[in-house]
Homo-oligomer: A and B are copies of this chain.
């Protein structure tokens, strides 16, 4: 996109390979979590719901949030297997949000990553339950002893994930996004309103990914603050890149319709700042994200590459 790669410096030579390798590990974990054998405390796993959840979760995806979690955790020497499990819980939350956002009552999308959305492949009721069950599974997984030996860490992750995903985070952001379409009357599309909306709708979960790695690695307060700043900047960059892709991307590469945001009257920073303004903001956010990691020196290079990748991605 736009030669941003050249502007911001090349990726790490092995970045793409590491991103793909982590995605494959997350895919394998998600597939294990969603087999049809009930766990202790479960009564039965209805096959239709298992199939719909697998459809929602195993349709590809870069697994960017789990990658950020895993690499943030690695910075503090946390166990990789534990970080992958926490990352798969986080990915369940992300996938649930896509399933519900795609519903006819919400954004009414038929395609996601080039495949039929869950309510198209199954039906609306099944899609609602699929999202519900994925969200629930996320907390089950996050609280399991395999995520961390210290239960205080698991409980803290559960609370942080819930705040990032709920009323004051992602779900609240989707509410504001629907309001920004004018569904419930007037909405002011100022830069401040759009920034809040985006910090909630997409920023909160990406920020959580980075914080969660630090929490898993039992980072100290100053280190957690660094990952928080990094995650907040990457979260904003992610959304601006997304908004630019919607304006400039092509549908084949996106696996979904382009130009939908403008058609739906969505509030984006592109509509507030213009394309050139949004590109400049994006570059500044990547610089800010990279700079935040200065205390970690070269050890954090993979996270810097992740910030650049987030801004330069083409789908």
Spell out A's residues near B (CB within 8 Å).
Answer: 38-46, 48-50, 53, 96, 100, 103, 105-106, 123-126, 128-129, 131-133, 135-137, 139-140, 142-145, 150-152, 154-156, 158-169, 171-176, 178-179, 183-184, 196, 199-200, 204
Query: Known pairs A44-B200, A49-B172, A129-B171. 7 more at Cβ < 8 A?
Result: A42-B163, A42-B167, A42-B169, A43-B199, A105-B124, A137-B162, A143-B162
Q: Are A144 and B171 in contact (CB under 8 A)?
A: no
Q: How far is the CB of A162 from chain B (nearest CB, A)?
A: 3
Number of this chain's copies in the complex: 2
* Distance of A200 Cα from B41 Cα, bound (Å): 11
* Distance of A97 Cα from B142 Cα, bound (Å): 22
Closest chain B residue, CB of each to CB of A40: B163
Q: Are B155 and A158 in contact (CB under 8 A)?
A: yes
Q: Are B168 and A39 in contact (CB under 8 A)?
A: yes
* Distance of A128 Cα from B163 Cα, bound (Å): 18
Q: Are A163 and B41 in contact (CB under 8 A)?
A: yes
Query: Please, which residues of chain B bring their CB within 8 A of the CB of A100?
Result: 128-129, 132
Given A155-B151, A163-B140, A172-B133, CB of A196 within 8 Å of CB of B128: no
Q: Are B140 and A143 in contact (CB under 8 A)?
A: no
Q: Are B44 and A168 in contact (CB under 8 A)?
A: yes
Q: Are B140 and A179 in contact (CB under 8 A)?
A: no
Q: Are A172 and B128 in contact (CB under 8 A)?
A: no
Query: Please, which residues of chain B bring their CB within 8 A of the CB of A105?
Result: 123-125, 128
- Give the residue of B41, B135, B152 whose beta carbon is less than 8 angstroms from that of A151: B152
Given A136-B171, A140-B166, A183-B125, CB of A176 within 8 Å of CB of B41: no
* Distance of A136 Cα from B93 Cα, bound (Å): 10
Q: Are A164 and B41 in contact (CB under 8 A)?
A: yes
Of listed A150, A158, A165, residue having the most chain B CB within 10 A: A158
Query: Please, which residues of chain B bring their CB within 8 A of the CB of A165?
Result: 136
A–B Cβ pairs within 8 angstroms, 16 of them:
A38-B168, A39-B168, A42-B168, A44-B168, A46-B176, A50-B167, A53-B167, A96-B132, A103-B128, A123-B183, A129-B174, A133-B171, A139-B158, A139-B161, A143-B162, A154-B158
* Distance of A180 Cα from B210 Cα, bound (Å): 43
